[in-house]
């Protein structure tokens, strides 16, 4: 049986983990930023130990690096690694959508339309758009009913999301983004799992060159 102290410790670690994860995802903690456990512990009102445990968890997910004499540093990506993340995402999300396609019903399509409308309302240059975009893709993948697959995809989104936010603050997103998402919905409505898989793979891979070029040019 889990003791109250053990439960409190695991709850504190989860809170610390989510706090740092949100900071990485939103770009508050950018690649190369050193994370100081005392500072983070003070922010959320806890001891350093749960924060250090959260760092270890984030390290196993590849989101931070724990180095001797440097402490914990937010991991960054090279342009080659950005391409790799999108390549892996395309395969995993393609699989998720292929599995999900037969499960979509009228309610699911209504929700996708609602999520797409929220993306349009937020525009393409703000942080809210990135959040809504992620929610759209998360909803697509959720219908695969494969929890391990969904968690792997979510980690890839966290890795790339800070770069997307910076990019969309400094560069214009192609105006075709809305139409691309509508094509995804129409393909799902047609009910062909293989076509849906190919469509989502193409959609994801087409983002990589522009984002990688931006990172190479700006050094961000």
Q: How many domains does the chain have?
A: 2
For residue 62, what is the domain's CATH number?
1.10.10.10
Residue 219 pLDDT level (bands cut at 50, 70, 90): low
Chain segment 125-157, per-residue pLDDT in tens? 556 788 888 999 999 999 999 999 999 999 899
Q: How far apart are CA 96 and CA 73, in angstroms?
A: 32
Residues 116 and 162 in one domain: yes
Residue 210 pLDDT level (bands cut at 50, 70, 90): confident
Residue 180 has pLDDT above 70, yes or no: yes
Residues 40 and 146 in one domain: no
Residues 214 and 113 in one domain: yes
Would you state the pLDDT for residue 3? 37
For residue 200, what is the domain's CATH number?
1.20.120.530
Q: Find the domain containing 70 and state its range.
A: 4-74
Model confidence pTM above 0.85? no
Would you state the pLDDT for residue 24? 87
Residues 61 and 141 in one domain: no
Report residue 156: phi and psi, to 5°.
Answer: -65, -40
Report residue 101: phi and psi, to 5°.
Answer: -50, -50
Residues 121 and 137 in one domain: yes
Yes or no: say if 96 and 186 are a contact pair by the CB < 8 Å rule.
no
* Other beta carbons within 10 Å of 193: 16
| Domain final residue pick, 74, 95, 121 | 74
Yes or no: say if 219 and 113 are a contact pair by the CB < 8 Å rule.
no
Specify the DSSP element, H or E, that contains 196: helix 193-205
Yes or no: say if 144 and 198 are a contact pair by the CB < 8 Å rule.
no
Average pLDDT (29-54) is 91
Percent of the chain at pLDDT above 90? 53
Residues 48 and 148 in one domain: no
Residues 49 and 156 in one domain: no
Would you state the pLDDT for residue 6? 37
| Domain final residue pick, 49, 74, 99 | 74
């Amino acid at each position: 049986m889990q003791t109250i102290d053990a439960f409190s410790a695991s709850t504190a670690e989860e809170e610390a983990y989510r706090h740092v994860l949100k900071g990485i995802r939103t770009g508050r903690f950018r690649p190369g930023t050193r994370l100081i456990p005392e500072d983070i512990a003070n922010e959320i009102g806890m001891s350093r130990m749960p924060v250090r445990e959260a760092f270890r968890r984030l390290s196993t997910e590849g989101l931070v690096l724990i180095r001797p004499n440097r402490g914990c540093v937010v991991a960054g990506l090279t342009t080659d690694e950005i391409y790799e993340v999108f390549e892996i995402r395309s395969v995993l999300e393609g699989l998720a959508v292929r599995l999900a396609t037969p499960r979509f019903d009228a309610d699911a399509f209504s929700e996708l339309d609602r999520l797409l409308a929220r993306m349009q309302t937020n525009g393409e240059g703000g942080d809210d758009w990135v959040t809504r975009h992620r929610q759209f893709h998360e909803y697509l993948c959720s219908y695969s009913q494969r929890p391990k697959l969904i968690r792997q995809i979510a980690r890839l989104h966290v890795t790339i999301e800070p770069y997307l936010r910076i990019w969309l603050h400094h560069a214009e997103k192609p105006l075709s983004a809305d139409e691309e998402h509508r094509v995804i919905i129409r393909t799902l409505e047609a009910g062909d799992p293989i076509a849906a898989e190919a469509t989502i793979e193409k959609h994801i891979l087409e983002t990589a060159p522009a984002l990688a070029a931006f990172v190479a040019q700006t050094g961000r």
